[in-house]
């Protein structure tokens, strides 16, 4: 099994920045992809960003493209989400997720970290 622990959430003014981290531990596969999702009050969980094993391929939701950057450090089993130019609509609980490269569905999820952006 795999455990994911997010950190870095908090309260920030609109226009500010935060960096979220997610550390993976346990029986991680030789290669795995990671993603970030978020869920705002009254909304469904939505995709934010994803990154493949090597870091060569990244994907972003249109709502965050150009403002957020996903990256990873495989030596540390950690994925990051750098969030710049934050907007109040970015307020949500942010979750990281893990999947082996050979499967399509995310298999493990972190507990979530709250991000609140004030105007």
Three-class HEC string of 24-71: EEECCCCCEEEEEEEECCCCCCEEEEEECCCCCCEEECCCCCCCEEEE
Quote the pLDDT of residue 109: 98
Weakly modelled stretches of the chain, pLDDT under 70: none
pLDDT of amino acid 63: 98
pLDDT the model gives residue 54: 96
Q: Which pLDDT score, from 0 to 100, does residue 7 have?
A: 97
């Amino acid at each position: 099994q795999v455990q994911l622990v997010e950190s870095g959430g908090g309260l920030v003014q609109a226009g500010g920045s935060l960096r979220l981290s997610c550390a993976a531990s346990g029986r991680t596969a030789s290669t795995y992809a990671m993603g970030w999702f978020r869920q705002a009050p009254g909304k469904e969980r939505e995709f934010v960003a994803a990154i493949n094993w090597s870091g060569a391929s990244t994907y972003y939701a249109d709502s965050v493209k150009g403002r957020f950057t996903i990256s990873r450090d495989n030596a540390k089993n950690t994925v990051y989400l750098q969030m710049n130019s934050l907007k109040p609509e970015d307020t949500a609980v942010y979750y990281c997720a893990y999947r082996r490269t050979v499967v399509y569905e995310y298999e493990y999820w972190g507990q979530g970290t709250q991000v609140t952006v004030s105007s």
